[in-house]
Amino acid sequence: MPDAALDSRAEARAALVTGTVDKIRAIETEEGLNRDSLEKMRQALVAMAAERELFTLDDFAPPPEGGDMKSTLYRLSEDDDHRFALYANVARAGVSSPVHDHTVWAIIVGCRGQELNRRFDAPDDRSGPPVERDQVMVEDGTGVAFMPDDVHSIHIDGPELVLNFHMYGKGLEQLHGRRFHKPETGEWIVFPAHSDIRDAR
């Protein structure tokens, strides 16, 4: 593709991302954090994801086929204080996360492919095991939103490459207190903040 076309798409994508993050920031500022405001944030992100022509696999390359790495995370936006962090995630089949929380609000919406989200109930003090509540297939036009204490797991098994968007109340490198459930022992364990992120701003 000619450089001019690439530049034009990148410019349009940057403007769309900026506008979407501005909307989400305003929702939280004006309404605080609750289920209703989180749903409005989710809808804003779903509208962004509908502009699929601005988010191609040429722009966001997947991890190499046959390798150990199954997903690649690209940073699209993050405030100077690390708030309102938005990422594009590109993944192949074979992704399966443990049940975990985020400690901040989180939203996942689909653009290409399918990502199964299993949602769970768990004690606030993490004194017992999670119990699956329901499942949501995140794909084009859909998404899920989580309050800081909500727990879920992610599973990607289909043959199609997945490209979706993850947004958090704070950047992933700053989240040092997230916990996941280890079914072999019944423990909830703190896992390190995510650091392998490519900058695509």
Write the pLDDT tens digit of every residue in 73-121: 999 999 999 999 999 999 999 999 999 999 999 999 999 999 999 999 9
Q: What is the pLDDT of residue 66?
A: 80
Q: What is the pLDDT of residue 67?
A: 80
- Nearest CA among 81, 86, 183 for reference residue 129: 183
Does the pLDDT at position 21 exceed 60? yes
Does the pLDDT at position 198 exceed 80? yes
Q: Strands 151-156, 115-121: parallel, antiparallel or unpaired by DSSP?
A: antiparallel
Q: Strands 187-190, 131-138: parallel, antiparallel or unpaired by DSSP?
A: unpaired
Full-model pTM: 0.94
How far is 164 from 158, CA to CA, in rounded Å? 14
SS3 43: helix
Does the pLDDT at position 194 exceed 90? no
Q: Where are the domains of the chain?
A: 3-199
CATH 2.60.120.10 is right for the domain spanning 3-199: yes
Write the pLDDT tens digit of every residue in 35-52: 999 999 999 999 999 999
